[in-house]
Amino acid sequence: MTPIIRAIDLVKRYPLPDDKSRTFAAVDGVSFEIFEREIYGILGPNGAGKTTTLEMLEGLNDIDGGSAFVDGIDVAKDPYSVKKIIGVQLQESEYFDKLNLIELLDLFGALYRRDIDAMELLGKVHLTEKAKARPANLSGGQKQRFSIACALVNAPKILFLDEPTTGLDPQAKRRLWDLVTELNDAGMTIVLTTHNMEEAEFLCGRIAIMDHGRLVAEDTPQSLIMKHAPEPPEAPLHGNIEDVFLALTGHALRD
């Protein structure tokens, strides 16, 4: 099977805060492949390089070393073509506060030069009843679902989600999980970063765990559990993905 995304020895360096003449590797030689129609999760503590890795794949951040290919397109050579086939939902989004949801989607459609059906997009994210509302009047979960609607304007083959459920209550979190599953069932490849171990285990067919800019493990959730956390204390069968995360990184998890 040919991967739809290939990351090969990706490197991203930034100046050290206290010594601009020196650099550190925020992403340090990361390689992986993601297949079409897969939900692929990237986990890691704050500062592990998850978001930076996504930004390089999306063509939003320069690649300092290695290479990345999205649907056969070399990201470094042709980031514009990559942007035409991906959707990106960011951790935080700002909108024109005078426009309602339909008007905003129509605006994004015009920017992509696409004739869209705003109500159909809102229906996909279960927000038709909020069509005339402004983003400021949405709940946290509704804002996250609307940001996904915006990412779907260009009918992407691949959807990138950066910590999509951070700060959401359990009900809103579950609704967003259902939405991600629906989009994937319809044929969309989805790449997400998360701090939520239950989320990764529920949604992802495969998981990559990053720490200090490097990939420290990659496999299916069940295989990672059986390899790294088969017998946690007071568990009758085996641990879970959070136990794997702690075993590999030593970091306590904080939402």
Is there a domain that residue 34 lies in? yes
Please report which confidence band the pLDDT of residue 252 belongs to, taking 50, 70 and 90 as the band edges.
Answer: low
CA distance 149 to 123: 9
Which of 29-33, 50-54, 93-97, 251-255 has the weakest average pLDDT?
251-255
User: Which residues are CB-contacts of 91 (< 8 A; sequence separation ≥ 6)?
Assistant: 51, 162, 163, 166
CATH number of residue 10's parent domain: 3.40.50.300
Look at residue 255 in the predicted model and tell me its pLDDT: 41
Look at residue 92 in the predicted model and tell me its pLDDT: 64
CA distance 195 to 46: 9
Please report which confidence band the pLDDT of residue 17 belongs to, taking 50, 70 and 90 as the band edges.
Answer: confident
> What is the mean predicted confidence (pLDDT) over 59-74?
97
> What is the mean predicted confidence (pLDDT) over 162-191?
92
* pLDDT above 80 for 140: yes
Give residue for tokens 């070399």: 74
User: For the chain, how many structural domains are there in total?
Assistant: 1
CA geometry: angle 90, 165, 213, nearest 5 deg: 60
Which of 145-149, 170-174, 189-193 has the weakest average pLDDT?
170-174
Is there a domain that residue 146 lies in? no
Is there a domain that residue 215 lies in? yes
Strands (E), the chain: 3-16, 19-35, 39-43, 65-70, 73-74, 86-89, 158-162, 189-194, 206-211, 214-219
Is there a domain that residue 236 lies in? yes
Please report which confidence band the pLDDT of residue 211 belongs to, taking 50, 70 and 90 as the band edges.
Answer: very high
Look at residue 95 in the predicted model and tell me its pLDDT: 76
Q: Which of 251, 163, 248, 211 is nearest to 48 (CA)?
A: 211
* pLDDT above 80 for 232: no
> What is the mean predicted confidence (pLDDT) over 43-51?
92
Give residue for tokens 């959401």: 168
Which of 42-56, 84-98, 207-221 has the weakest average pLDDT?
84-98
> What is the mean predicted confidence (pLDDT) over 197-219?
94
**For the chain, what is the mean pLDDT?**
90
* pLDDT above 60 for 54: yes
* pLDDT above 70 for 236: no
Is there a domain that residue 106 lies in? no
The three-state secondary structure class of 73 is strand
Look at residue 234 in the predicted model and tell me its pLDDT: 61
CA distance 16 to 5: 30
* pLDDT above 60 for 99: yes
Look at residue 51 in the predicted model and tell me its pLDDT: 93
> What is the mean predicted confidence (pLDDT) over 134-155?
92
The whole domain housing 63 covers 3-85+156-249
State the pTM of this model: 0.87
171 vs 74, higher pLDDT:
74
Is there a domain that residue 116 lies in? no
Task: Give percent above pLDDT 90 in the chain.
Answer: 69
Is there a domain that residue 145 lies in? no
